[in-house]
Structure 1
């Protein structure tokens, strides 16, 4: 059993304001995985105070970029050295299947490397050439840190979400308070252990597991200059309102209800081979999951049958079993939420192709959901419009390509999406018409050099690469 009875504040493990420890239970069998201290508002106040002092009076914001890059490169190397341990802890506390947590480790390296390259290539200070040859002044443009960053992340993919924020924020010279979900207290405690080894100055980084009330205390704190949030659209709206009132900088990576458009010429064998990874990764608890599958009317039943076959072939069970593809939901309330949506789909008149609200046989203990496919789904149904965050797919028929694009765009969300076609250029033309931040063609994985983020209610701002680094910088112009 893992125990973290202190809080990581300003780079030091510190006694919490409350001695109570939270029990972290396995989503698989509800056994005790570990215990961890939880931050309260008083702990947030301490973390913000040391971050404020480290930014205003410390060395980190004025450390040369090359030296900051070297420190964050050590963070990346330490994380790589502990990859197996990280994957195992996330599987134990989150219920994410072991294949997913292990496969995600190289992605974390690529994510970090994209930020590091962006920092290396960035012109941190440059003198602009005047557009008017007769100009008597010249302009020096600087890129500087914003200040104290509150980074608030969800539970579904903790290391990816954490590093997507703290690496660019620290590269830019900011100080950071990382607020993590209570469910991830163990893996994020491990992250704090690694950060303690990398050579960051005192006060630069804190890692605080805490509930929603404490999180609101953090983002509302007057000494926080920027909020970087990943989570639900509802919580994002609340955070945006707080940021607006206080004129804080804010970036939001929110929910999704993404569509996979299967064009008439798509190779169904290739589509089904990639379907599980595009639509059901991480037990369906993924904001980028393409949970609406749009199929041409003349191939509709063929697509439905193919989706059914794939979903029924996926093993559901113990996330530590190497053959398991889908593990449990993270909490009992999340399990019930997904089962309730399945009931809603049935009541709305969608055709239940496979699955249902019943718990999988033999998996009554833990927080399991039967992977479910609905057909004859109208895009106005709740199961087509609302983010379920579980292994539930809706197959929707379209008449022609214009209709497919219309349906894909008929959503408050715009985070991800996919196009499947034998003609790559034609698929690209369709992708250009979809109002969403990321589109994959024929199941290509999301890259880290390009920007990642959402249109519409899926968020504000971008992560990854140069665009993600730029989110944590202010521009200053000095005229001489």
Structure 2
């Protein structure tokens, strides 16, 4: 067995040393889950609902501890971390509320002498691989509906946020969840591959990079096992001529800079109608300059470091390449003294005179940077919004809901917003197209990928 040292982006020092699971630990966890499955599957849904509700109560009771730990683990300012706890509660309680309706038997039309219905059977063991940027919000999308449906779960958090899996386990233990129904494994890539290849695993949910999604798909390809993928985005916003410019600027900046831009559904590129372009850009720059970059544990900080130095290096590389190709950077880095080359601290940046020949407008930057382009029509904006390998979310800022719907129908994306962005509504399906992934979580459709239909065809009269 070896250890993994978590380096905090706050001070670039070791924060916690985490023992990694051995192959025997992995095999034992798989065995425990398989043993626990039949009894959990047979547990009445009402009892599963009761235990999951207690889990939510136990988890949110640890809000302060979780918030501080998140600041150290990933650098997000401590003032914002309670939002992630609230998000877990919102999603989990909604899924709990709709579980009975979503999982009930589907009876087909009556046929004399027969009783026919379709039951949603749990798959078995679900392996959830979560990303570090929203470790709890990402994990809850798979863990809670999987358990409600009668599956057992093993959770693997990203190494940077390994301890977050332990917080889930503590809350489940307090809730009285039977042993083996939820487990976590702190494992490296070879051990995770061992789990995916195990015949005891019945479904894999992965959230992360496109490269990671391809690797998971390849590993699982030798087995008839379902794989759900959420692989990020390069999400666009379009500000129409009739938009409330001040409102749009404030919210687009928040959508671009929140969590230091490390959000799969954050705004990374903006298209603005020429009639409001100058006004919009000025307001965006004004809002961006108000951020306070610094110590994530300080209540005054509104922008923390990105997760690692190499992530910061890539962000700076995108900016430098864009400027070398003709882009203009509108925010003076000197306004943010904490920003320094060779550290995870990156100043927020707004780029204009950008185009789609620049990586900052095509590749996932995953940092506090946004590029803004001028357009002359809805048609031009639609074309540019669709000019991407990703398709997770897109937003339009307008007072005309009819126009918004017409635009939304033409955008290749899993979620389309009007006058908001960067938010997952648990009542709506969370899904992506193109390189943003496949499958679905949240809403009633989220249960479909965690169950299989089993038909019952009963001749009741002979």
Give the shorter-chain TM-score range: over 0.9
Q: Which residue of structure 2 aligns with residue 215 of structure 1? A: 192
2:437 aligned to which of 436, 451, 459: 459
Q: Which residue of structure 1 aligns with residue 450 of structure 2? A: 472
Structure 1 residues 300 and 252: alpha-carbon distance in aligned structure 2, compared to 1, 3 A threshold: same
RMSD: 2.0
How far apart, CA to CA, are the structure 2 residues paired with 1:469 and 1:76? 19
Q: Which residue of structure 2 aligns with residue 7 of structure 1? A: none
1:124 aligned to which of 104, 126, 141: 104
Matches within 5 A, 1:64-463: 64-130=44-110, 137-354=114-331, 360-364=336-340, 366-443=343-420, 445-463=423-441
The offset of 1:359, in angstroms, is: 11
The offset of 1:323, in angstroms, is: 2.2
The offset of 1:123, in angstroms, is: 4.5
How far apart, CA to CA, are the structure 2 residues paired with 1:228 and 1:212? 15
CA displacement, residues 394-417 of structure 1 (integer Å, 9 cap, x when unaligned): 112222101111111111111011
How far apart, CA to CA, are the structure 2 residues paired with 1:208 and 1:338? 31
How far apart, CA to CA, are the structure 2 residues paired with 1:363 and 1:404? 33
Question: Where has structure 1 moved over 3 Å in runs of 4 or more?
Answer: 135-138, 362-366
Structure 1 residues 75 and 355: alpha-carbon distance in aligned structure 2, compared to 1, 3 A threshold: farther
What is the TM-score normalised by the length of structure 2?
A: 0.93
How far apart, CA to CA, are the structure 2 residues paired with 1:281 and 1:264? 25
How far apart, CA to CA, are the structure 1 residues paired with 2:439 and 2:103? 21
How far apart, CA to CA, are the structure 2 residues paired with 1:83 and 1:425? 41
Mean Cα displacement is larger for which, 249-258 or 297-306? Answer: 297-306
How far apart, CA to CA, are the structure 2 residues paired with 1:124 and 1:243? 30
The offset of 1:355, in angstroms, is: 5.0
Contact 2:108–2:116 (Cα < 8 Å) also in 1: yes
Q: Secondary structure at the match of 1:280?
A: helix
Q: Which residue of structure 2 aligns with residue 3 of structure 1? A: none
Q: Which residue of structure 1 aligns with residue 40 of structure 2? A: 60
Q: Secondary structure at the match of 1:404?
A: helix
CA displacement, residues 20-72 of structure 1 (integer Å, 9 cap, x when unaligned): 443323211123432222224332222112112222xx410111111111111
How far apart, CA to CA, are the structure 2 residues paired with 1:189 and 1:403? 48
How far apart, CA to CA, are the structure 1 residues paired with 2:22 and 2:249? 47
The offset of 1:459, in angstroms, is: 0.9
Contact 1:293–1:395 (Cα < 8 Å) also in 2: yes
The offset of 1:347, in angstroms, is: 2.7
How far apart, CA to CA, are the structure 2 residues paired with 1:439 and 1:99? 28
The offset of 1:327, in angstroms, is: 0.4
How far apart, CA to CA, are the structure 2 residues paired with 1:80 and 1:121? 26
What is the TM-score normalised by the length of structure 1?
A: 0.90
Which runs of 5 or more structure 2 residues have no equivalent in the other structure? Answer: none
How far apart, CA to CA, are the structure 2 residues paired with 1:216 and 1:359? 45
Mean Cα displacement is larger for which, 311-320 or 426-435? Answer: 426-435
Which runs of 5 or more structure 1 residues have no equivalent in the other structure? Answer: 1-17
